[in-house]
Structure 1
Amino acid sequence: MRPLQVSTRPHDGHTLVRLCGELDIATAEDLRLRLSAARRSHGEHLVLDLADLEFMDSQGLSVLVHCYKAVTAAGGSFTLAAPRPIVRRTLEITGMHRRMTVVGSLEEALAGTAAPG
């Protein structure tokens, strides 16, 4: 098991959050706190880079859904970029890929060409 690593930085009016490792019940609360801090520091337009996220369970998904709802309620945007097949499958099984913006690459997310699904 690879522990979750989170890095955050501003990028052209967005908050770029990179997730590496495994997002599960053991790491979900830490991510929730880090996403809240990122929103306070950098604003309500989040791009989550999931290219190095190896696994996500229901607790991890719950954190993403909570953040998505908070960001969109505040008038912001929430984009998931480059999820691996196992993470994308979780999004598809739960139908979250139809509610959240999911794109194939970080470049696509940052270019603002992101479209739902």
Structure 2
Amino acid sequence: MIELDTTQAADVAVVRPLGRLTMVHAADLREVVNGAVEDGRTRIVVDLGDCEFMDSSGLGAVIGGLKQARQAGGDLRIAALQPQVMTVLQLTNLDRVLRPYGSVAEALRGD
């Protein structure tokens, strides 16, 4: 399941994948990020605090969201990674492209 929350800033969306982000929900994540960007919320934070597992399809959806947000003049950041998700990011060297933040608040500030 994918949740979308908006913050007080009109250009920000926080997306929360719950459980496992696999090929089953990768399209859902793409759809949620696409909708947020189309609505003008080009600063996206993917809160992975409740995502215990991510496969290559899930990772691809996050990277696709990053590309979409940047093309719209914004950015996509990831926050609160679980150990397995961090391992996937490190093994693929994508932690250099998607810098993980400790919390959604840190991701929004860019700390």
TM-score with structure 1 setting the length:
0.84
Mapped to 2, the partners of 1:101 and 1:15 lie a distance apart of 18
Mapped to 1, the partners of 2:89 and 2:105 lie a distance apart of 20
For residue 49 of structure 1, what is the amino acid of its counterpart? D
Within the alignment, does 1:35 sit opposite 2:33 as a pair? Answer: yes
TM-score with structure 2 setting the length:
0.88
Work out the percentage of aligned pairs sharing the same amino acid. 34
- Residue of structure 2 in register with 1:15 after alignment: 13
SS of the residue aligned with 1:51?
A: coil
- Residue of structure 1 in register with 2:66 after alignment: 68
Mapped to 2, the partners of 1:21 and 1:11 lie a distance apart of 26
Equivalent residue runs for 1:44-63 within 5 Å: 44-63=42-61
More strand by percentage: 1
Deviation at 1:9, TM superposition (A): 1.6
Structure 1 gap ranges (5+): none
The 8 Å contact of residues 4 and 13 in structure 2, kept in 1 or not, is answered as no
Mapped to 1, the partners of 2:36 and 2:22 lie a distance apart of 20
Report the count of equivalent residues: 110
The 8 Å contact of residues 78 and 100 in structure 2, kept in 1 or not, is answered as yes
Mapped to 2, the partners of 1:68 and 1:31 lie a distance apart of 12
Which digits, 9 at most, give the CA deviation of each residue in 1:66-113, with x for residues without a partner? 111121122211110111011011111111110113111122112332
SS of the residue aligned with 1:83?
A: coil
Deviation at 1:8, TM superposition (A): 2.6
The 8 Å contact of residues 25 and 57 in structure 1, kept in 2 or not, is answered as yes
Structure 2 gap ranges (5+): none
RMSD: 1.5
Which structure has the higher relative contact order (CA within 8 Å, separation 6+)?
Answer: 2
- Residue of structure 2 in register with 1:109 after alignment: 107
